[in-house]
Amino acid sequence: MKRFYSIFAFALFVTFSVTAQQNNAVIDQMVKEANENSQLERLAHELLDVIGPRLVGTPEQKQAHDWAVNQFNAWGIDAKNEQWGEWRGWQRGVTHIDLVAPRTKTLQGMMLAWSPGTSKKGIEAEVIILPDLADSAAYAAWLPNAKGKFVMISANQPTGRPEYNWKEFATEESFQKMKALKDSVNDAWRTRLQKTGYRGRGALPEALEKAGAVGIISSYWSQGFGANKIFSSYTKKIPTLDISLEDYGLLYRLAEYGNQPKIKVNADSKNLKPMQTFNTVATIPGTEKPEEYIVLSAHFDSWDGGQGATDNGTGTITMMEAARLLKKYYPNPKRTIVIGLWGSEEQGLNGSRAFVEDHPELVKGIQAVFNQDNGTGRVTNISGQGFLHAYEFINRWLYPVPQEIKKHIETSFPGTPGGGGSDYASFLAAGAPAFSLSSLSWSYWNYTWHTNLDTYDKIVFDDVRYNAILTAILTYMASEDDKTFPRDQSVLPINPRTGKQSEWPSPRSPNRKGGLD
């Protein structure tokens, strides 16, 4: 009997050793390939430089989806575009804004998304400031004065220097004085807007348009040098322009001091027929458990102030590169690997919500979703998202990750489920184990998140390479795991805002007819 146990133990040791060697061989090959033959720079160039931003409802979005399908197919990975809805069709052209009086200067600015353009001749008109009046009745009486004018509707910021720059160089007294001034200016402007009586983001621009204004001028400073956030227009016939803090301040001061500034605007845009909206879905079929799935998740769309580089070009190329590594060195996975590049995340997780709604059987079989969305930085945090047994699985999957990558990652278990923010939340709401690969900031919020500076040059490719390696190894380990991830949910904590126990997020249906109401 003793001899039997010795033989049995030796056999187990041999089995585990062979398995470990096989695991190490696959992982070592993927790490070597990623470091010595990375495709990240080429993918980023083709996606960001050649195609550019991928605003939902634009031809560029469809072009990007087709590019991704072709790229996956070139790697031997079956891929297709799945239509899930349609969106208001629009295409941006060139925006050119010139100060023509009291002097000449080309201004930095651009139309907001879905803004109407101008005629080919452009528009030349005086710029005025939305006045500070007593109440809504006074504003209603003033509105005819907007006719034939460009109207400025944002506060004039007292400084274009970020707070960190003030902290570094200003005296403490000067720093505190500027902070107080900024707060008072922005508070006063909010009060000014409230007194107009127009509620909601679009109400005031719509009223000015109806009153005969020739354009709306705003400036949404991102608290960083040269960075403005570029979102959407609410006008239907006249252009809405976002102008850089520096040039907005120039116009504001000229108008405030009675210099009667005039600008000429040439802005091209096209309203198109409704555009189909897609998810790009690529698949590496499983061999032993084909009806269980690991999903590599990233949203494909972007705002269009820059190139959509860190939001979410970096997440996209991370998942594509991870898929390439897996296909090359792990072509016959135990479980099916799905790569999902979702459309219209920026307008409410619509693409991933549609996928979850349209593929309930696949969602039931999910072993894990790995989602990356918050910038170019290396992954530094993984939460268990409220799953009771996440500690066991995530730590096991992380174990073979190279130390130079793993040492930066903090984990928190069991965590709480994300209710929004990115596409992993769509899967969590359906009860599927979905995890955000949360990244180091690299000043994401101030400088690249939805800004005019979200461009190729902000990518930190060493960090993105780490993330592709991490994703490939997590996927490999999750696929090979003998155990299926259990979906037991932890007891969620009391919500400090409501005083009630938090609840697991509920599924929400996507908007499948965006901007077509």
Mean pLDDT, the chain, rounded, equals: 95
* pLDDT tens readout for residues 99-158: 999 999 999 999 999 999 999 999 999 999 999 999 999 999 999 999 999 999 999 999
Per DSSP, the three-state class of 106 is: strand
Q: What is the mean pLDDT of residues 164-180?
A: 98
* pTM recorded for the entire structure: 0.94
Could you tell me which residues come within 8 angstroms of residue 15 by beta carbon, excluding any fewer than 6 positions away?
none
3-state secondary structure labels for all residues of 181-242: HHHHHHHHHHHHHHHCCCCCCCHHHHHHHHCCCCEEEECCECCCCCCEECCECCCCCCCEEE
Q: How far is CA 207 from its chain centroid? A: 31
Place 22 in a pLDDT band, splitting at 50, 70 and 90.
Answer: low
Q: From CA 456, how far away is CA 443, in angstroms rounded?
A: 15
Give the percent of the chain with pLDDT over 90.
94
DSSP 306: S
492 with 65: CB under 8 angstroms?
no
277 with 59: CB under 8 angstroms?
no
Per DSSP, the three-state class of 115 is: coil
DSSP 305: S
Task: Answer positive or negative: Cα dihedral of 384, 294, 307, 150.
Answer: negative
Burial 383-396 (b: 16+ CB within 10 A, else e): bbbbbebbeebbee
Q: From CA 80, how far away is CA 279, in angstroms rounded?
A: 8
Determine the residue type at 222.
Answer: S
* pLDDT tens readout for residues 438-448: 999 999 999 99
| Domain architecture of the chain: domains with CATH | 36-88+274-514 (3.40.630.10), 103-260 (3.50.30.30)
* pLDDT tens readout for residues 36-87: 999 999 999 999 999 999 999 999 999 999 999 999 999 999 999 999 999 9
Helix or strand holding residue 99 (H, E): strand 78-101
- DSSP structure string for 448-516: ITTBTT--GGG--HHHHHHHHHHHHHHHHHHHH-SSPPP-PBPPPPBPTTTSSB--PPPP----SEET-
Q: From CA 418, how far away is CA 412, in angstroms rounded?
A: 13
* pLDDT tens readout for residues 372-407: 999 999 999 999 999 999 999 999 999 999 999 999
Place 497 in a pLDDT band, splitting at 50, 70 and 90.
Answer: confident
